[in-house]
A and B are shown apart, each in its own frame.
Chain A
Amino acid sequence: MSQSLALEARNISKAFGPVQALSDVTFGLRKGEVHALVGENGAGKSTLMNIIDGILKPDAGEILIDGEKADIVSPEKAQRLGIGFVHQEIALCPDISVAENISMAATNRRRAFLMNYAETRARAEAALNDLGVVDPHARTGDLSISEQQIVEIAKALTLDCSILILDEPTAALTEREAVKLFDIMARLKQRGISIIYISHRMAEIFAHCDRITVLRDGRHVCTKDVAETDPEDIVRRMVGRHLGDLYPPKNAASATAGDLLAVENLSDGERFADVSFALRQGEILGIAGLIGAGRTEIALGLCGLRPTVSGKVRLDGEDITPQTYSQSIAAGVVYLSEDRKGAGVFVDLPIAANVSALAIEQVSRKPGLVSRSREQAQAARLGAALKLKCGSLDDAVSTLSGGNQQKVALAKLLSVGPKVIVLDEPTRGVDVGAKAEIHRILRDLASRGTGIIVISSELPELIGLCDRAIVVREGRIAGEVTGDDMNEEEIIRLASGVGQKNGRGA
């Protein structure tokens, strides 16, 4: 185990309030290896990486770099120890040039009073040299997502890092761009750089990594050489239980039910075109696709939150194509945003005021005055139905955990008695327990006749929860999967557009 480890994390534990995110996790990274770190969302991968990068402090345990105990108190300290972290969300300044972004840390450390643009440019060119064609003078915001990712990697490399953490780097990339990235990884490996590679994609891991560590529910499950194992084994260890136990039973009868909501040839003239699909009675319909494929835009379009140029939305056969979101709410179609804090809830306002926001008139008396007792009763009723855990309904939403915040957002939608609920990443950032609870609530609603459409980037969730899923690629429906066809491989194939032979037209 101690054979030339570039980095070792020993017996790391970390808790967030009542949630134990990591317990006694040990992880070793050999020099010059590509080490995959896998696990379901919430397994503790990000927490572990944030501890290694000095963003979070562990409750217990220690980190060794090159065999020496290191006290990583901040990301800056991590940088000085040679740890580069490319985050899943791109964290670049969009308005400045690529070169300036790459040199940001160096500029920060610089003692001189004036900028040295020649040096900045030279450093950027040197860093980008290996990585491919990105113009160092370009405005960063004008680059594609994959180019921005390359800039992120270049930025990490300029810090003389010997350890590089890549957090789901291919999530936003097309197939071709991903190949380029693996090329870069191979070259970095030759230079002796050790890479921690976080991904959900088994094919990539088995093609490009040396070892795999599996985390589950905050615990270390196993570390194996790629040669010693296979994808099925890893997935089983990741999940650690049968998928059937994780998700509520599906509704087989929905396969033959009539259409509740029908979207016909919907286009916004920009991000999606000619989108047609139907949601059946009692069904949970999934929308899959890569990040940036247009899933969210389609959802926004069908709810009137984003202008569309053509197409129709029918509910029970009646044309309800909304121009504004309030029309959509009136018709009974509501939307839950993927960005909970940014657009889902009012974090500084009381719980009760959040729940009533969608139709404040429902809890008001005649001349337009809010009735406190009705508002409280509404929040108490919906909160109880969703098993919301809170102190007082007058508390601000910011005092709740992620899962309970999401329940408040759900209660808000349910307050209008919707016919169809469109949920965008409904379980993002909520813990495993609350996640299962939200799944149960959705299934319960579906079985009572509310149509549910779920967008999720987490394929196991989509497959476990939904009766059927449509796959979106580059703003169009690439196919539809049900039953046995609904597996990761098939969905990724449709989403990335590789080999159309089994794809079923929508």
Chain B
Amino acid sequence: MSAMEEISRPQPRFGIQWRSLGNMRELGLVLIILALCVVMSFASPYFLTWTNFRAMLLSFSIEGIVVVGMTVLLIVGAIDLSVGSVVCFSMVVGGFFFLAGLDPWSASLLAIAACAAIGVLMALCVTRIGLHSFIVSLAFMVIVRGLCLAITGGTPLSLFSLPASFKFIGQGTVYGIPVVIIIFAVVVAIFDFLLRKATVFRKVFYTGSNEKAAEYSGIRTNRVKFFCIVLCSTLAGVAGVIYMARFGAATPTFGLGMELNIIAAAVIGGASLKGGSGTILGAILGMALLSVVSSSLILLDVSPYWQDTIRGLILLAAVSFDHVLHNRKKAGAPRPAGQ
């Protein structure tokens, strides 16, 4: 094998990374968000205040934890429509055990474990039976929502008796910064790093990019998918516990429609529904864009009846813009010869 050892010096290349296409996209998103902020700062004096900024961050911090899981899932080529229900399930289960006399920390752990178990069930349906994650998670969205209603009897659980030490997670601040935002930042930093560096997550990219080729590289693609589905449900469980601490209540209808917001954020941020691409940073920026738009619409006193329509149109515009940009870049690449 000495011919194979003829080492040509590796050419170091800086700047362009594994996610070189993603970097472009993220820059574009940052510019859109900044432009919107500039416009809004003229339109409403209240927009550029720390209070408003903090409110926006708070509004998407907890959802942002779920977005991380969803992005990983989209990269592997799957999707999870049940996240809204699972977030709610986590609150309800946590609240139920707390009211049953358990300390809130153990109750929270049980709640997260229950959500992970839901993930395991979905993952089994996908990897063992071979169903598509879309239909599995659609079924579980309804099943889990039903469980929430059944456990609570349809009425919100009042958890005002939660100890202050637990409520601190959702309501406290450290040096004026809400704990929720700190948790969110830590989760994002960890997963952004892992997604770029860890071998486990590299296998996620391989599987999502071309499942057959991944199998033919000895990767157990079903295991990878299993892992991603359970990860997403578990993170939804974590988010649910934080919501419980924040609101001091568990409402069985909480999180209705949350999945759409979360999937939209990940897709705006560059995750492909076909799998194989996506970044945590992009997804969080997508979330930030949606949040800025929502905040703007409220500050501009747009009728709530029209807000959803406008949000939808902006989502469509952002994704189309990105798609056009992305395809133009691709067209520049030389086509392989043959045929």
Mark A residues whose CB is within 8 Å of B.
16-19, 21, 46-47, 50, 56, 305, 324-326, 328-329, 335, 337, 339, 342-350, 353, 357-361, 364, 368-370, 372-373, 376-377, 380-385, 392-394, 396, 398-402, 405, 412, 414, 417, 429-431, 444, 448, 450
Contacts and interface: CB of A to CB of B under 8 A. Distances in A.
A353 B202 contact: yes
B6 A385 contact: yes
Dominant secondary structure of chain B at its interface with chain A: loop
Given A343-B210, A357-B217, A358-B218, A444 B3 contact: yes
A380 B10 contact: yes
A373 B17 CA distance: 12
Given A329-B218, A373-B10, A431-B338, A360 B16 contact: no
B337 A16 contact: yes
The 3 closest A-B pairs by CB, nearest first: A384-B8, A16-B337, A343-B212
Contacts, number: 154
A33 B16 CA distance: 59
A385 B9 contact: no
Nearest to B193: A369
B276 interface: yes
Contacts of B10: 373, 376-377, 380-381
A308 B336 CA distance: 37
A17 B11 CA distance: 26
B1 A417 contact: yes
B197 to A, nearest CB: 4
B202 A17 contact: no
A233 B210 CA distance: 45
Contacts of B34: none
Interface string B318-338: 000000000000000111111
Nearest to B4: A385
Contacts of A360: 199, 202-203
B126 to A, nearest CB: 19
Contacts of A382: 4
A381 B18 contact: no
Contacts of A361: 199
Contacts of B317: none
B229 to A, nearest CB: 20
Contact of A353 (B4, B7, B9, B205): B205
A358 B214 CA distance: 8
B103 to A, nearest CB: 33
13 contacts: A47-B339, A343-B210, A348-B209, A349-B205, A357-B217, A373-B12, A376-B12, A384-B8, A385-B4, A394-B20, A396-B333, A398-B336, A401-B336
A331 B303 CA distance: 67
Given A16-B337, A335-B216, A382-B4, A370 B206 contact: no
B200 interface: yes
Most chain B CB within a 10 A radius of its CB, from A342, A344, A348, A358: A348
Contacts of A392: 11, 13, 16
A52 to B, nearest CB: 14
A432 to B, nearest CB: 11
